[in-house]
Amino acid sequence: MYKLKDIEKILSFKTWDDKRKIDALLEMDASIYAHLGTDSTKKENDIAKKNSRKIYRAIKEVDVEMGTTFLDLIDK
């Protein structure tokens, strides 16, 4: 599982443009859900959703509109 320090590390890269940062964060999010399956417990699904929310908040720091959209979608 990804940790908050992994997200912060991506955000701190000075040589990466915003698109590359967002792409890396979305790749992390996709990986989280790719490792969930039909046999995943409710707790595992809740952890995945919580980590997605952290990733989307980080995206919001880079692109407010995109991050807000993702956060709105996950809360539905």
Q: List pLDDT tens digits, range 26-39.
A: 999 999 999 999 99
8: containing domain: 4-74
d(CA 38, CA 45): 10
Q: Does 41 score more than 80 pLDDT? A: yes
Res 76: pLDDT:
75
Q: Give how many domains the chain has, as a whole number.
A: 1
Buried b (16+ CB within 10 A) or exposed e, 8-40: eebeeeeeeeeeebbebbeebbeebeeeeeeee
Distance (Å, whole) CA 75 – CA 63: 18
Tokens of 69: 């959209």
